[in-house]
Chains A and B, each alone.
Chain A
Amino acid sequence: MTDALDDNEEATALAAEYALGLLTEDEALAFEAAMAVDPDLREIYARWAEDFVSVADGIHPVPPPQSVLERINADLFPANTANKPSLLARLGLLPAALTGLVAAATVLVVVNLDVLRPAPTAFAPEYVAQVTAEDQSLVVLAAYDADTKVLRLDRSAGAAQTGRSLELWLVVGDAAPVSLGVLADASATEITLSDDLAAGIPDGILAISDEPLGGSPTGSATGPVVAVGAVTRL
């Protein structure tokens, strides 16, 4: 810049340039890092975002063709078709008998933001999976930090039935599911994975099955799968 702006003006101009996409990649990343720790800067950006959006107020709505929604549904919810039985089959269960009982949904939750990023923490997960029963009776958010091989589990709903245990499985490709252990009673737990298990996380699916107290006695799932979630990269 050739002209001098005061701090307030500089923040105003920078936030507008960020909102318009005029900054270089490096400048944009630096601005996001600054916003992550500066609520005032977030507020300045949010005001620009609101104001610029009104530039689009005069754009007339146009109903999209039905095919777009069909493609979105096919993208987001393939579990309705082929994937669910094959996953259950891979878990060693009987699809025909259990499809109705299990009804587990795959829900991907990506917690990064394209407009704002959360403040950095010591635990820096690159992968997440929300392992959720369709009726929300069991909700476990899994976050994985590849550098430390720590898988953090946060159970926000559900618990094992009395005298039973919930066991977490990692399913990778066509391989047999591998147990990651029984979920602890505490709602938040951390597991450090071996190198073998860690390698499977990026392409893996996490599943939780209902097992006898202490976990499956056989090494593969013996009870119904109560929740499933695919691992997704942040």
Chain B
Amino acid sequence: MTTPADIETMIARMALGDRAAFSTLYSATSAKLFGISLRVLNNRAEAEDALQEVFVKVWRKSASYQVNGLSPMTWLITITRNHCIDRLRARKTATGQMDEAVDIADAAPGPEALAIAASEGVRIADCMGQLEPDRADAVRRAYLEGETYDELATRYGVPLNTIRTWLRRSLIKLRECLSS
């Protein structure tokens, strides 16, 4: 079992140029990060490219890990998620189509939404459950599909200002629930 402290040690050693630590980190985390890449990008070849770029980035940024205040898996998953969202948005811009890849995940609640309830993410799942369903759905879409305010406004058929106002309100409610 790889603990967060183990991963922190690997990242610290990578910052000193330790390739063995990099190999160990790859073995311990690549399946999780590839799963996330596949989920966000929904395309195997693109997910493989993204995973490659993510690990190159992780190696190069290992020295900056200690100062960012995130737990090690959060740091790795956030880099992966953000990188895949950037790719997804570039793809949407390039093809002008934003819904095809996304709609596969449309049927709510998706498999991961069910799994969340059984995992350690139980609290955010509980708190998301206290939001109105379309608002929880919008938060999930923003996180996992990288949907922008423009896309969410189109999806829910409301003006941009309105979508932003109600999503911000929902996020504040979510924080109150998570802090209680």
- Residues of A that sit less than 8 Å from B by CB: 1-3, 5, 9, 12-13, 16-17, 19-22, 42-43, 46-65, 67-69, 71-72, 75-77, 105, 107-116, 118, 130, 132, 134, 136, 139, 232
Contacts and interface: CB of A to CB of B under 8 A. Distances in A.
B77 A56 contact: yes
Contacts of B63: 109-111, 130
A71 B52 contact: yes
A54 B36 contact: no
B87 interface: no
B35 A116 contact: no
Contacts of A13: 168, 171-172
5 contacts: A57-B112, A61-B31, A61-B35, A68-B51, A107-B16
A116 B61 CA distance: 12
Given A20-B143, A58-B115, A111-B64, A77 B78 contact: no
Contacts of B35: 59-62
Nearest to A75: B56
Contacts of A52: 124, 143
B113 A58 contact: yes
B146 A21 contact: yes
B79 A114 contact: yes
Centre residue among B16, B62, B140 by max chain A CB count within 10 A: B16
Given A21-B82, A55-B140, A77-B19, A69 B30 contact: yes
Chain B interface bracket (under 10, 10 to 19, 20 to 34, 35 or more):
35 or more
A51 to B, nearest CB: 5
A59 B39 contact: yes
Contacts, number: 183
B175 A16 contact: yes
A55 B17 contact: no
A136 B17 contact: yes
B114 interface: yes
B11 interface: no
A56 B79 CA distance: 13
| 9 interchain residue pairs of minimum CB distance | A58-B115, A54-B121, A61-B31, A58-B112, A57-B121, A107-B17, A13-B168, A16-B171, A64-B34
B60 to A, nearest CB: 5
Interface string B11-46: 000011101001000100011101110110000000
A62 B67 contact: no
Centre residue among B38, B51, B70 by max chain A CB count within 10 A: B70
Given A22-B142, A115-B79, 12 more contacts: A2-B165, A5-B172, A47-B175, A56-B36, A58-B118, A59-B32, A59-B36, A62-B38, A63-B30, A65-B48, A76-B59, A111-B64
B115 A57 contact: yes
Contacts of B7: none
